[in-house]
Structure 1
Amino acid sequence: MSREERVLSDTDNENTNEEIETGIDSPDESSSGLFTAGRSLQSNVIEDHNPDYISADAELAAEIPDDTEVIDLVHLKVLALEDLNLLRFKNLKKLYLRQNLIESIAELEVLPLENMEEIDFYDNRIKHISKSVNLFSNLKTLDLSFNKIRTIKNVDKLVNLENLYFVQNKISKIENLGTLTKLKNLELGGNRIKEIGPDDLKGLANLEEIWLGKNSIPKLINLQHLKNLRILSIQSNKLKKFEGLEELENLEELYVSHNFISKIEGLENNLKLTTLDVTGNRLTKIENLKHLTHLTDLWASDNQIDQPFESLGEELGKLPEFETIYLEGNPIQTKNPTQYRRKIMLNLGESLQKIDATYVRA
Structure 2
Amino acid sequence: MGTRLWILMLVVNQVAPYRRPAEASPCQVVHEDVDCSSLNLRRVPAQLPASIHLLDLSRNLLQNLTDQELPAFSGVRSLNLHANKIQFIQPGFFQDMSLLEVLDLSENSLDLYAALKTHVGLLASVRHLDLSGNGLFTDMSDYFLSDAPLLTNLSLDGNSITKISRDTFNGSQALTNIDLHNNVIIEIEEGAFESLTGLSELDLSVNSISCITDFNLVQLKTLNLSKNSLTSFQTIDSDLEFELMYLDLRENKILYFPVLPQRNKLIYLDLSRNLLRSVNCSGPLEELENLKASGYLFTDHDKPLCLCTNQRHQDLPKLLYLDLSYNQLKTIPTSFFSSMVSLESLNISNNCLESFSVNAEIPLNSLKTLDISYNNLQNLSFGENTLAALEVLHLQGNALSMLDAGIFSRLPSIRSLHLQQNLFSICPPLQGPTNDCIRLSSIPTLSYLYLSENSLMSIPPGAFQGSSLLILDLSQNPGMYLELSSLSGLETSLTHLSLRGNQLQTLAVDFTLFRKLKSLDLSVNRLTGVSLWSGESSVESLNLQKNSLVTLPSDTVIALQKTLRTLYVGSNPLSCCGNPYLLTLLQQGRLSVPDIAAATCWYTRDSESVEISVSAVQPEHCEPVDRKVLWISVIVVLALGLSLVSVVALKLCHSKTHGFKRGIKA
Separation in structure 2 between the aligned mates of residue 210 and residue 355 of structure 1, nearest angstrom: 28
Name the residue aligned to 1:188. 395
Contact 2:426–2:463 (CA under 8 A) maintained in structure 1: no
1:249 CA drift (Å): 3.4
Name the residue aligned to 1:255. 473
Q: 1:97 to 1:289 in 2, by over 3 A?
A: same
Q: How does 1:168-183 map to 2 (within 5 A)?
A: 168-178=374-384, 179-183=386-390
2:298 counterpart of 1:92: no
Select 1:301's aligned residue among 507, 523, 538: 523
* Higher alpha-carbon Rg: 2
2:503 counterpart of 1:272: no
Question: Residue 158 of structure 1 aligns to which amino acid in structure 2?
Answer: L
Gaps of 5+ in 1: 1-49
2:258 counterpart of 1:75: no
Q: How does 1:124-139 map to 2 (within 5 A)?
A: 124-130=327-333, 131-139=335-343
Name the residue aligned to 2:591. 360
Q: 1:344 to 1:209 in 2, by over 3 A?
A: same
2:454 counterpart of 1:237: yes
Q: How does 1:282-361 map to 2 (within 5 A)?
A: 282-286=503-507, 287-307=509-529, 311-312=531-532, 314-315=533-534, 318-320=536-538, 322-332=539-549, 335=550, 346-356=558-568, 360-361=591-592
Q: How does 1:197-216 map to 2 (within 5 A)?
A: 197-216=404-423
1:197 CA drift (Å): 2.5
Count of aligned pairs: 300
Q: TM-score, normalised by structure 2?
A: 0.42
1:231 CA drift (Å): 0.6
Q: How does 1:218-229 map to 2 (within 5 A)?
A: 218-220=425-427, 221-224=438-441, 226-229=443-446
Q: 1:341 to 1:328 in 2, by over 3 A?
A: farther
Question: Residue 489 of structure 2 aligns to which amino acid in structure 1?
Answer: N
Name the residue aligned to 2:44. none
Q: 1:202 to 1:109 in 2, by over 3 A?
A: farther
1:101 CA drift (Å): 0.8
Q: How does 1:161-172 map to 2 (within 5 A)?
A: 161-172=367-378
1:276 CA drift (Å): 0.5
1:210 partner SS: strand
Select 1:141's aligned residue among 342, 345, 361: 345
Name the residue aligned to 2:210. 56
Select 2:322's aligned residue among 119, 141, 144: 119
Greater mean alpha carbon deviation, residues 207-216 or residues 286-295: 286-295
1:201 partner SS: helix
Q: 1:273 to 1:97 in 2, by over 3 A?
A: same
Question: Residue 528 of structure 2 aligns to which amino acid in structure 1?
Answer: D
Name the residue aligned to 2:175. none
Higher RCO, Cα 8 Å, sep 6+ = 1
User: Which digits, 9 at most, give the CA deviation of each residue in 1:176-217, with x for residues without a partner?
Assistant: 254112111111000021134233224212100110110111
Contact 2:495–2:518 (CA under 8 A) maintained in structure 1: yes
Q: 1:112 to 1:341 in 2, by over 3 A?
A: farther
Q: 1:62 to 1:70 in 2, by over 3 A?
A: same
2:459 partner SS: coil
Contact 2:442–2:467 (CA under 8 A) maintained in structure 1: no
Question: Residue 295 of structure 1 aligns to which amino acid in structure 2?
Answer: L
Q: TM-score, normalised by structure 1?
A: 0.74
1:87 CA drift (Å): 1.7
Name the residue aligned to 2:58. none
Separation in structure 1 between the aligned mates of residue 214 and residue 481 of structure 2, nearest angstrom: 55
User: Which digits, 9 at most, give the CA deviation of each residue in 1:264-321, with x for residues without a partner?
Assistant: 542221120001111111322342322110000111111111115xx24x35x6123x
Select 2:364's aligned residue among 158, 169, 179: 158
Greater mean alpha carbon deviation, residues 145-154 or residues 110-119: 110-119
Name the residue aligned to 1:32. none
1:347 CA drift (Å): 5.0
Separation in structure 2 between the aligned mates of residue 109 and residue 188 of structure 1, nearest angstrom: 32
Separation in structure 1 between the aligned mates of residue 553 and residue 337 of structure 2, nearest angstrom: 54
Separation in structure 2 between the aligned mates of residue 77 and residue 342 of structure 1, nearest angstrom: 63
Greater mean alpha carbon deviation, residues 100-109 or residues 257-266: 100-109
Separation in structure 2 between the aligned mates of residue 61 and residue 351 of structure 1, nearest angstrom: 61
Give percent identity, aligned residues only.
21
Separation in structure 2 between the aligned mates of residue 90 and residue 120 of structure 1, nearest angstrom: 18
1:132 partner SS: helix
Contact 1:122–1:145 (CA under 8 A) maintained in structure 2: yes
Runs of 4+ residues deviating >4 angstroms: 59-64, 107-112, 340-347
1:343 CA drift (Å): 9.7
1:223 CA drift (Å): 2.0
1:345 CA drift (Å): 5.3
Separation in structure 2 between the aligned mates of residue 255 and residue 190 of structure 1, nearest angstrom: 15
